[in-house]
Amino acid sequence: MDYLLQKIDAGFDALSGRFRDVPVAVFLLSPALLLLFVFTFAPMLYAVYMSLFGGKQGMGDFVGLANYAEALRRPDFWNSVRVTMYYVLGTVPITMLLSFVVAYALNRIVFGRGFFRTVYFLPYITSTVAAAMVWRAIYSPQFGYLNAFLTYIGLPAQQWLLEPRGILHLMSGGWIPHDVGPSLALCCIMAFDVWHGSGFMIVIFLAGLAAIPRELEEVARLDGAGTLQVMRHITLPLLSPTLFFLAIIGTVRAFQSFNSFFALTQGGGRTLGTTENLILYIYANFYEYGFWRYGAAVATLLSLGIMGLTLLQWRFIGRWVHYE
């Protein structure tokens, strides 16, 4: 009996020792938790509350899930979902692949490494709006350098950011319907965001590559492994936590993209909705049409979609991640 009491006392002592630092941790984290609650969780909860009422700007009657049902019935909502999916699938994989190739090359060179790292990181720290204005001038149908180059080599000029027809339709000479695939205007936005966002991924890839022990690659090469074999069996498996992190972060940021869309096209009106993603759709309902309650419902659906997709990535992609 005494032995059992001693074990119970020892267990309580260990438990109290484990939670001894909890008050200090809560005190140190309280400023950050307060900011998160005020600027993140509280607005999210209020958006959910707003979505349960009808009307425009004023407080209307309680309608429950009617705003959500209306969103799922409206073609313009599903059009914005389609545009968003085109954008996510067209930017995240390409940006990750391009950033990995550049980071792998920068990790190998010796001469001018710092200079090239700075050059590739400059687009990311440049203001999105300022960079978008430069790209708008390049895409200009009348005075843009891109159309000037196409005319010089004998190709027809394009409308670029004003072209609502699909890029597959244009490339196939009209054989593919014009509403299949992303529009040329959306592809122009994708190209800008791949260029602008690759700097961040390059820096993260460089950090991941620097953490890989060179001894493993040297041993593999002594055993006769080539560059592709080393990359497949050593570099990519050890880089899988970095790839997983960038896939999640890149996907979330792509779903939340707003600055490039708005700065380059000012909405989807001039391109028949082919450049109106979900964020622009929410913005239009809030600030142009005044449907705050409906916009809050769409914003809640977007948040739920992002959380669901992130959980799926953790469930199915996370199992392939190798941690040292």
- List the end-to-end C-alpha distance of the chain, in Å, as a whole number: 45
Answer yes or no: do 259 and 308 share one domain.
Answer: yes
Answer yes or no: do 88 and 151 share one domain.
Answer: yes
**Residue-level pLDDT at 114:** 81
**Residue-level pLDDT at 86:** 97
pTM of structure: 0.88
Answer yes or no: do 41 and 119 share one domain.
Answer: no
Identify the CA nearest to 284 among candidates 83, 42, 64, 130: 83
Q: What is the mean pLDDT of residues 282-303?
A: 92
Mean pLDDT in the chain?
87
Domains contained in the chain, number: 2
Instruction: Tell me whether residue 107 is in a domain.
Output: yes
Concatenated DSSP letters of 154-185: TPPP--GGG--SBHHHHHTTTSS-TTSS-BHH
Range of weakest confidence among 12-21, 110-119, 155-164, 280-289: 12-21
Question: 163: which residues sit within 8 A by CB, 6+ positions away?
Answer: 170, 183, 184, 185, 271
Range of the domain at 314: 66-320
Answer yes or no: do 44 and 140 share one domain.
Answer: no
Instruction: Tell me whether residue 87 is in a domain.
Output: yes
Answer yes or no: do 155 and 258 share one domain.
Answer: yes
Confidence of residue 279 (pLDDT cuts 50, 70, 90): very high
Instruction: Tell me whether residue 58 is in a domain.
Output: no
Answer yes or no: do 115 and 177 share one domain.
Answer: yes
What CATH number is associated with residue 115? 1.10.3720.10
Instruction: Tell me whether residue 41 is in a domain.
Output: yes
Instruction: Tell me whether residue 127 is in a domain.
Output: yes
Instruction: Tell me whether residue 19 is in a domain.
Output: yes
Q: What are phi and psi of 53, to 5 degrees?
A: -120, 155
Q: What is the mean pLDDT of residues 115-122?
A: 87
**Residue-level pLDDT at 12:** 47
Answer yes or no: do 213 and 70 share one domain.
Answer: yes
